[in-house]
Structure 1
């Protein structure tokens, strides 16, 4: 007789879920996503170089007020590579507000909006594997304390792989799935979308991971719902290949004056 599986949530998760209705990340960042991502989904970004420029642009759109076209949500950044900093984010936010003249903001209003957006950014700098696992164990407490967080960005999820290897080497794909399962369990019930980066080479198989591991249609343990590959072209533009369970799209952009312009 087949056993029926029930989703079990803690008392804290239940109280958090019932206490308030949070703004989610649905229909976020249309430059890359057609109709998503949705709460609970996992987005993987990989490249042979740092993708911090793209992550920063996505974070800006996430904390930007709804009336200005953003999602107006809280973003938690687990920073293992040191590529994302508050000064860099602040500079990008200021640039966004000052270049978008159609916002019609006066200087005082601009400062208030900027402060509100910065208040919705939570950065945790992590320097070793022990800190990483401790951070994951504390994720639920962080999400309870800051109930407006709807997007968790981890750059890079696999940063401490080699430091954790000893006599027996864990396969890269198994290591990645194990970490992803830990994160998914920690954010369960909090309506959070997970976005993480990994190096392009990080795969146990000779075949590309995007070929061997299909994207899941709905949030599933250890599975990715959207995979984004970023690479630079010969003409100095960039391409993002966006793969979901049902579609593959190709988006081009360039970086001018420290900001992304979509082509």
Structure 2
């Protein structure tokens, strides 16, 4: 139901905005165009929708938390180049995997990791200026920071960490009805939180099987339900000009060795749809409204085959992969363009395996 009203006295009445809608349209939120440039090539825009998918245990929640930390951190601090966006973040947790202590630790460790690398560079009399400029925007400010001593530096880092977490809003949903109500009323909350420029949902498909059992017993009614909900929700997120990042579970997959079989649920097997749409390999079980709105698709995997292929002598780019770390890969697709990146997991989050 729209909150707008009609201006009288005109045959072609024009909807007029109320105060909340006007603020939502005019207020400028922090820009996230520089969010993870290696991942998004500095092309992510306000209102974009990002989908993170993959099998269980390949780092979907970790990628989401890494993006949250990148959005919360400032671009620079005390001369250090932190690469953040200095924005606010709202997380809707449905899988209940999120840990605030892990996020706090990730922010703290990332700052200390950069500071440690800069300190090591400055100790070298013939330091690499190009390498230093990649980690620091002001060498003099960094040297002043290092003079404070370990205790004072850690106190400064703790204050920055608290400042970042003050811009973080956490919502927890424990059932399908609560999740649907949260999505459809999120606009009112975000209007009052003008610093929020990133909304993360982990995961979007947490209650799919519950909805199939108690709300919609066929794929058609299920798709109709999700289309109706996501049409309103996504339109609101685009109106508010926030970046939406959602993880999605792989609930349907081809049976191995039977390419002509219908897609089978990867967890429960008591739903048997006989519609031809299940012949498609990538079944948009969340509905066309969601599928058509996604601009960035991030597919995560820990398959060693892709890593082996990328490390072949014929490969144009050979990534640097640590021998003592488990390597994950992420396939990034935007429209028809697809690229693959490798990353390893560390205390400060993820590290990209660059060439």
Q: Same fold (TM over 0.5)?
A: yes
Report deviation, 1:159: 0.7
Among residues 174, 193, 201, which one is paired with 1:146 in the alignment? 193
* Structure 1 counterpart of 2:246: 196
What secondary structure is seen at the aligned counterpart in 2 of 1:93? helix
Point out 4+ residue stretches in structure 1 off by more than 6 angstroms. none
- For residues 72-151 of structure 1, the aligned pairs below 5 Å read 72-101=86-115, 102=118, 104=142, 106-151=153-198
Output the TM-score relative to the length of structure 1: 0.84
* Structure 2 counterpart of 1:205: 278
Q: 2:240 aligned with 1:170, yes or no?
A: no
Structure 2: how far apart are the matches of 1:247 and 1:111?
A: 41
Unaligned runs of 5+ in 2: 1-13, 77-81, 119-135, 137-141, 146-152, 254-276, 308-325
Report deviation, 1:9: 7.9
* Structure 1 counterpart of 2:22: 14
Q: Residues 243 and 37 of structure 1: is their aligned pair in 2 closer, same or farther, counting only changes over 3 Å?
A: same
Preserved CA contact (<8 Å) 1:66 1:72:
yes
Unaligned runs of 5+ in 1: 1-6, 214-219
Report deviation, 1:183: 2.0
Structure 1: how far apart are the matches of 2:301 and 2:238?
A: 32
Higher relative contact order (CA 8 A, sep 6+): 1
* Structure 2 counterpart of 1:217: none
Report deviation, 1:176: 5.1
Q: 2:94 aligned with 1:47, yes or no?
A: no
- Deviations 1:190-222 (CA, angstroms, capped at 9, x unpaired): 111111111123586343339x89xxxxxx995
Among residues 185, 189, 210, which one is paired with 2:235 in the alignment? 185
Greater C-alpha Rg: 2
Q: 2:294 aligned with 1:224, yes or no?
A: yes
Report deviation, 1:24: 2.1
* Structure 2 counterpart of 1:66: 75
Alpha-carbon RMSD across the aligned residues, in angstroms, is 2.8
Structure 2: how far apart are the matches of 1:229 and 1:8?
A: 41
What secondary structure is seen at the aligned counterpart in 2 of 1:31? helix
Preserved CA contact (<8 Å) 2:190 2:196:
yes
Among residues 233, 236, 240, which one is paired with 2:330 in the alignment? 240
Output the TM-score relative to the length of structure 2: 0.64
Per mean C-alpha deviation after superposition, the further-off stretch among 120-129 and 91-100 is 91-100
* Structure 2 counterpart of 1:34: 41
What secondary structure is seen at the aligned counterpart in 2 of 1:21? coil
- Deviations 1:63-100 (CA, angstroms, capped at 9, x unpaired): 11022211111111000001122122111112112222
Per mean C-alpha deviation after superposition, the further-off stretch among 135-144 and 232-241 is 232-241
Preserved CA contact (<8 Å) 2:48 2:238:
no
Structure with higher helix content: 2
